[in-house]
A = this chain, B = another copy of it.
Amino acid sequence: MPIYNAPVKDLQFVLHDLLKVSEQDIPGFEDLDPEFTGAVIEEAGRVASEVLAPLNMVGDVEGCVLEDGVVRTPTGFKDALKVMKDGGWTAMDCDPEYGGQGLPYVMHTAAQELMVSANMAFQMYQGLTHGAYSAIHVHGSDAQKQKFLPKMVTCEWTGTMNLTEPHCGTDLGLMRTKAVPQDDGSYKITGQKIFISAGDHDMADNIIHLVLARIPGGPDGIKGVSLFIVPKIIVNDDGSLGDRNGVSVGKIEAKMGIHGNSTCVMNYDDAEGYMIGEMHKGMRAMFVMMNEARLGVGLQGYAQAEVAYQNAVVYANDRLQGRAVTGVENPDGPADPLIVHPDIRRNLMDQKSFVEGARALILWGTYLIDRAHKNDDADADGLITLLTPVMKGFLTDKGFEYATAAQQVYGGHGYIEESGMSQFARDARIAMIYEGANGVQALDLVGRKLAQDGGKHVMAFFEMVKTFIKDNEGNAALKADFLDPLKAASKDMQAAGMYFMQNGVKNPNHALAGSYDFMHMMGHVCLGLMWARMGKAAMDALEAGASDKDFYETKIATGRYYMARQLPATAMHLARINTGADTVMALEASQF
């Protein structure tokens, strides 16, 4: 069975050496000293390794089963959710008014990584509940909040998000599900939603569906879509559970992965629902959930790569095959371990340097969210809005790529389900698709985010990179290995932005044909920035006489690898972008 160990030191390094969370002037951050965060991460890691990880393959093999209209989750999932509730892991950053612990989002995210690495399909039940909680928390009425949030904070009731219909996913303006107003102010919801993660299951007393639907007579397209709370079981005014609502499971989808999560076709048949937020402004309310979910999905990408990497390292050290070309390293054994071979190293370093950079990026992103929300910081908000599609698109593409690369280390054994390596890749695959397929993220980035507020946020991003380089140019150790590659990559990105500006006006396809490459290019610059900062942080720690020299030296060496071997990708992306739309759009549809 695959192993999983919480990367406690790495998380602590990001929180304290890199982000210096306890020194930030953000309400609540003053409590995040290393002792406290270390204790939380250690304990979350224990739950992840001991409770959730052992159920990961169980979930994959058993999957979810629909029996007599009820979804049965895999063996052990119900008990595990109880452990999560009892430990308070479902409520870390939730509002204390509804039973949460009110910790910063960055702290919640650090703990989430561990749960997602250990068992992504399981953790989705909680993740979706958290998203639904957030949407109600921001847009719900007081009565709605009082009625639903306390039970959702504990996962006694779980949540879902219902957007997709059989004929529309990305283009939600085509939606058909309707919501007919009733005399008592409620609505009757009728329609079919598909791909509903955690749509039904046997682990909670109730399920609170957030459903997008169209009120008849409203505007066409996306501007006529409103958001509704539709509980599986009607909640009486005294909080007790009443009748079954008109919600049922059509079927469970057979999927490539995340078998442990019940992905349902949900049928709404005159189901009672309550509008949340403003009429016809459902997408605005849903976006609270979706932006949060997109960072969470970016996290899934690198969290799967992390657990896959850990297992690849074990295998590379255990498996004896061939001899080091520079001389025998295991003379007493019949062969040397795989890890002596340069191409195995190359593969493992690709994985390691990605995962650690991605972790820094996501935690920095959630720190920006904390800053935006708690300090009303518009700059932080603008920056995370810009970066969200990059974090989602780039980290999930690479997360899948490296989960697959980790599987490759196992050779034939990686293709056998028993190794667990296939599951990591299959589970990671969905992250490139849901919450907006990665092509849509690229479109969002280039077609919308770059130009938002007159391009202010992307300019601020470039400025941030430039300032960091300038401020540290005197540091010779940092300059050659970190700052120079970062500068080159950032220049490539600026050149691409220039190309878009100069050519996109004439023909927007010249920009959009390069959108995917731009998303990846910006991802590399982001990880390059994270590594330059981490390199500096590690050098600072060594200079200050840190006791764990080996840890910091490893960090610097890993960063050097990323800068030397991954950042050159930006030049390739720029070359592709600079060819514009001509070859991309050359064919007629019939010529494919």
Contact = CB atoms under 8 A, between A and B. Distances in A.
Nearest to A519: B343
A352 B592 contact: yes
Given A345-B585, A416-B254, A583-B349, A170 B322 contact: yes
Q: Is chain A's binding surface mostly helix, strand, loop or mixed?
A: helix
A315 to B, nearest CB: 11
Interface string A413-430: 011111000100110011
A529 B191 CA distance: 54
Nearest to A410: B433
Interface stretch (A8-16, A98-106, A132-140, A508-516): A508-516
A348 interface: yes
Contact of A415 (B408, B418, B430): B430
Interface in A492-539: 507-509, 512-513, 515-516
A317 interface: yes
Contacts of A569: 572
Contact of A326 (B407, B412, B509, B515): B509
Interface residues of A, number: 94
A513 B408 CA distance: 17
A415 B586 contact: no
A199 to B, nearest CB: 13
Number of chain copies forming the complex: 2
Contacts of A572: 568-569, 571-572
A477 interface: no
A415 B256 contact: yes
B412 A195 contact: yes
A412 B439 contact: no
A194 B411 CA distance: 13
A433 B422 CA distance: 13
Contacts of A550: 591
A79 interface: no
Nearest to A437: B411
A447 interface: yes
Contacts of A438: 408
B557 A579 contact: no
Contacts of A407: 429
Contact of A583 (B326, B447, B564, B568): B564
A478 interface: no
B583 A560 contact: yes
A372 to B, nearest CB: 29
A339 interface: yes
A447 B417 contact: no
Interface in A312-330: 313, 316-317, 320-322, 325-326
A348 B513 CA distance: 12
B589 A565 contact: no
A512 B592 contact: no
Given A346-B584, A439-B347, A516-B346, A432 B417 contact: no
A169 B344 CA distance: 15
A119 interface: no
19 contacts: A164-B412, A174-B321, A253-B418, A255-B415, A255-B422, A313-B592, A317-B592, A325-B509, A342-B515, A343-B442, A346-B584, A349-B584, A349-B587, A407-B429, A415-B434, A426-B426, A564-B582, A564-B583, A565-B576
4 A-B pairs with the lowest CB-CB distances in the bound complex, closest first:
A568-B575, A342-B512, A256-B422, A561-B583
